[in-house]
A and B are shown apart, each in its own frame.
Chain A
Amino acid sequence: MTNSDNDPVLRRAIDDLRRLPPLDSEAVRRVVSAAAVARVSPAEDDDMIVARPRRSLTVWTVAGIAAAAAIVGFTLHGVWTSHSPAPVNVASSAPAATKLQTVDRGRENDALPVPQQFVFENARAHRVSIVGDFNGWGASKTPMVHTPDGTSWSVIVPVMPGRHIYGFMVDDSVFTLDPRAPKSRDVDLGTEGSVVIVGRP
């Protein structure tokens, strides 16, 4: 601050601008209600997880069950046959159903979500969930499952093709980025998140 800023005219203007409006309890209530609704609703940019037209849903349901079975088999096979444990605190995400995507390719339901597997390796955590723009950043919406070897956590989430920001919530309190994924700064919120590009082959 310079001496010139101690001008009495400016000082009085600042005093005036510092006056707080009265606390409006009704406005506070409206804000809290709006926020509560927004947090449990899909975000405007994650409408990929809302209901699809019935015809596509039927196709998706059949394909999804088949893909999920294939993914689970593939994942468990990988976990049980691995002889070199991965280092702690390493995470990754990968498209989960190549065959499923092949089934969908070329059809009119290109806007359907793609099952995306997220893996977070941390042997010390007691609870891990994934939070991202695809689940409204809900810390309790998508818990991850501990793998049988106890070193990592995994979950498969249907995500629309495109670019998404996400992270892992460890023990309900620590937001952790995926160390293997690129980072991006959210221009709106100023915080960093991990980036996953979901696409169809």
Chain B
Amino acid sequence: MYPRHLTTRFLQRPDPAVSIDSTTISRAKLGDIDAFTAIVEAYHQRCLRFARSMLRNPDDAEDMVQEAFVRLYRALPRYEERYRFESWLFQILGNCCRTANTTFRRVEARTVDDESVVERMPSSDMPGRQFDEEWSVAVRSALAEVPDYNREIFLLHYIEGFSYDEIERMTGVRQSALKMRVKRASDFLRRRLAPARK
């Protein structure tokens, strides 16, 4: 059993929701560019974070985020307020990233074998900052090996904080399947990253 404060922290939703009120969205629907700018400012960082983790080529992340916002702006007249705005945004962004991944040729650097991952793992006797940096690289390398369809759901749930209910509405995938995908991604990451803790 883990200390309660750690478990509680783990269960918290990340990034307390950036509040974009319905008036701002309504103004953006009518083409108000200032309102749209406020929306982009509110969500750009989260979208970039998601795209960098989702894309096989993270260098494309900025382009994909831009593409998603362009699509969103064009489609805003069709946005219905009964849907959660950020679910809709991430649904569009997820579609953009999936499309980009299908057209991007998987590069050799991404298909690393288990041994090379272990060799790159940071060891706990490294100085703190160096360990953090290498840990961060190791996490991203491991995540890149998680199959796309598991990685997306893992990111939506654990990193972007969407509930399974919301992800089901966004993707059309049943909750039981969503939970299985998250579990598989989690198990994979745990196996890959465990050597770093030894």
Interface flag for B66 (CB, 8 Å): yes
The answer to whether A31 touches B49 (Cβ under 8 A) is no
Chain B residues with CB under 8 Å of A6's CB are: 2, 6-7, 10
The answer to whether A9 touches B194 (Cβ under 8 A) is yes
A20-28, A73-81, A92-100, A116-124 - the one binding chain B: A20-28
- Given A7-B190, A13-B193, A190-B88, A136 contacting B44 (CB threshold 8 A): no
The answer to whether A191 touches B44 (Cβ under 8 A) is no
Interface flag for B197 (CB, 8 Å): yes
Within 8 A of A (CB), among B6-50: 6-7, 10-11, 14-15, 26, 29-31, 33, 36-37, 40-41, 44-46, 48-49
Interface flag for B135 (CB, 8 Å): yes
Give a binary string over B35-79; 1 marks a CB under 8 Å from any A CB, 0 the rest.
011001100111011001100000000100110011111111111
Interface flag for B100 (CB, 8 Å): no
Give a binary string over A137-155; 1 marks a CB under 8 Å from any B CB, 0 the rest.
1111000000000000000
The answer to whether B45 touches A21 (Cβ under 8 A) is yes
B148 to chain A, nearest CB (A): 16
Interface flag for A11 (CB, 8 Å): yes
Bound form: Cα–Cα A32–B41 in Å: 10
B: contact size bracket: 35 or more
Chain A residues with CB under 8 Å of B78's CB are: 131, 137, 167, 175, 186, 189, 191, 193
Which chain B residue shows the least CB distance to A43?
B74
The answer to whether B37 touches A17 (Cβ under 8 A) is no
The answer to whether A20 touches B74 (Cβ under 8 A) is no
- Given A12-B135, A27-B62, A39 contacting B31 (CB threshold 8 A): yes
Bound form: Cα–Cα A60–B31 in Å: 32
The answer to whether B92 touches A24 (Cβ under 8 A) is no
Interface flag for B143 (CB, 8 Å): yes
Chain A residues with CB under 8 Å of B10's CB are: 5-6, 11, 14
Chain B residues with CB under 8 Å of A138's CB are: 31, 77
B9 to chain A, nearest CB (A): 8
Interface flag for A110 (CB, 8 Å): no
Bound form: Cα–Cα A156–B89 in Å: 32
The answer to whether B26 touches A173 (Cβ under 8 A) is yes
Which chain A residue shows the least CB distance to B135?
A16
Chain B residues with CB under 8 Å of A31's CB are: 40, 44, 65-66, 69-70
Chain B residues with CB under 8 Å of A193's CB are: 78
The answer to whether B30 touches A172 (Cβ under 8 A) is yes
B43 to chain A, nearest CB (A): 10
The answer to whether A18 touches B66 (Cβ under 8 A) is no
Per CB-CB distance, the 8 closest pairs between chain A and chain B, nearest first, are A35-B73, A20-B45, A189-B75, A191-B78, A18-B14, A139-B77, A38-B70, A13-B139
A-B contact pairs, 11 of them (CB 8 A): A5-B183, A9-B197, A17-B139, A17-B155, A28-B41, A31-B44, A173-B29, A188-B92, A188-B95, A189-B78, A190-B83
